[in-house]
Structure 1
Amino acid sequence: MMERATRVGNRLLAALPPADFALLAPHLRKVPLLHDAVLVRSGDRIEHLYFPCSGAIALIMELPNGQTAATAVIGNDGAVGLMTALGPVRSPLTAVVRVAGTALQISPARFQAALERSPAIANAVQIVTRAMMTQFLHVAACNALHSVEARLARWLLHIHDRTDGGDILPLTQETLSELLGVRRTTVTHVVSALRASRAIKSNRRGQLEIDRQRLEVVACECYKVMSRRIDRIVSQDAVRLLHAAPARNGCPPPDFPFAKTDS
């Protein structure tokens, strides 16, 4: 499983039985996730599904008055755009790449066709939905109950979990403001407080260098609780459900996991 996860990149796709993955593989394209790229805007139709292999994507709620706040961060344990499993829909959230990486992209029509033939893919959609709902609920409670410093520490840890670039995170003050749903002046004060506690080592323009151990001390209990619950949902115990029934195609797995790579 670990070897296949490394080859495929996305943990959820890697957990699919070979025959079920073969339904998707010819239609998957490996695409770059460029920093600050908007994958879909709130209110727009979802044109592509993305299964991240690396990097981090923030889901942002945009209010009519222009205010924004993050509701979740997606990495290689999830997907963006799975609402299309319910049919043609407009996205309720804006998905923005906050840490560059790569993803496997597929059209809703191709994904829906595979979904109709594969109970395993249907179970995968349920797993992602449960993980997303867990994150939404925890973020909502955390925003209501905990300090801005603790909330920023939690977001930084979640993003750090989904990156492989060491302790330097490519996050601007504007991005932090968007994550927290606060003004940039508030972000300045919060970052200064975390620097004073040495949870943030430095904050050069567009970059934060963190001390993970100290950041975990500052973060509220939501970080560990949320991480445990989401990891349990996407764990090997959960994805074993994907093997309950074979896909109705009888195809062997392809020699190559993707039909095309966009550079």
Structure 2
Amino acid sequence: MAPVENHLIELLPRKDRLRLLAVCEPVELVLAEVLCEPGKPTRHVYFPVDSFISLVALVEGSPGVEVGMVGREGMLGAQLALGVVTAPLHAVVQGGGASWRIGTPAFRLELARSLPLQRGMNRYLYVLMAQQAASAACLRFHQTTERLARWLLMSQDRAHSDHFHVTHEFLAYMLGMRRVGITAAANALQRGGLIEYHRGDVTVLDRSGLEAATCSCYATDRQTYAQLLH
């Protein structure tokens, strides 16, 4: 396991943090691995370290659309803080790597005995709600290039690298649109010198330029998180 911890775990007082880690196990998440399905019981809670997870709303007759993303800043299974075991969304590994994993019964027991963990989960639930609301609005009102820039920035933040891998097919799936639209948007960002994209390998060349190319949703997401979880 990498030495860097998950931010939600780091925010806990030392006593609560050590007690939570005592019931965690380190795991390696694999790209495209499905961690939970909507309507099914949540078997494990995940606190990513250097991996990240896409939260996808499934729609009948379509592959669905991404409505949230979880990396080192968050966790998968936050609905357990509401006493709900059923998973609300399809969760798939977008970036492989290290994560902490806890069985649902052990996590619920720890949640019941740790007030700081309860507070952290409640605040993180609000962050998720805000992120998902922003994603819905972004899908409806913002241009493809802006949305792609936002998605790339969010992925870069969670990959902790200027370089990561993603295919056109996966991008079209995550952004809920046709591949041809993704190709046009990616080409526009490349022509602007903001990214380099070749056979699924993305390199962010100009971070500030990419931030200027995205919509306001990206900055709003970051501000909400910073205000509540610091």
> Under TM normalisation by the shorter chain, which class is it?
over 0.9
| Alpha-carbon shift at residue 83 of structure 1 (Å) | 1.3
Partner of 2:25: 29
Matched residues in 1 for 2:58 and 2:80: separation?
A: 20
TM-score (norm 1): 0.82
Q: Is the 8 A contact 1:58 1:98 kept in 2?
A: yes
- In the alignment, which of 184, 188, 191 is matched to residue 189 of structure 1? 184
- In the alignment, which of 86, 91, 110 is matched to residue 90 of structure 1? 86
Partner of 2:69: 73
Cα-to-partner distance string for 1:84-133 (whole Å, 9 max, x where unaligned):
23335321211111112211100111011111111111111112101111
The answer on 1:228 being equivalent to 2:215 is no
The answer on 1:48 being equivalent to 2:44 is yes
Q: Is the 8 A contact 1:135 1:230 kept in 2?
A: no
Matched residues in 1 for 2:109 and 2:85: separation?
A: 16
- For the residue of structure 2 that corresponds to 1:66, the secondary structure is coil
Bigger shift: 177-186 or 149-158? Answer: 177-186
Cα-to-partner distance string for 1:142-164 (whole Å, 9 max, x where unaligned):
22221011011001001111112
Q: Is the 8 A contact 2:53 2:92 kept in 1?
A: yes
Partner of 2:145: 149
The answer on 1:204 being equivalent to 2:198 is yes
Q: Is the 8 A contact 2:81 2:122 kept in 1?
A: no
- For the residue of structure 2 that corresponds to 1:44, the secondary structure is coil
How many residues align? The count is 228
Matched residues in 2 for 1:114 and 1:12: separation?
A: 14
| Alpha-carbon shift at residue 172 of structure 1 (Å) | 0.8
Partner of 1:161: 157
RMSD: 1.6
Q: Is the 8 A contact 2:9 2:17 kept in 1?
A: yes
Partner of 2:58: 62
Q: Which has the higher contact order (CA 8 A, sep 6+)?
A: 1
TM-score (norm 2): 0.93
Partner of 2:109: 113
Query: Which ranges of structure 2 fall in alignment gaps of 5 or more residues?
Result: none
Query: Which ranges of structure 1 fall in alignment gaps of 5 or more residues?
Result: 1-5, 236-263
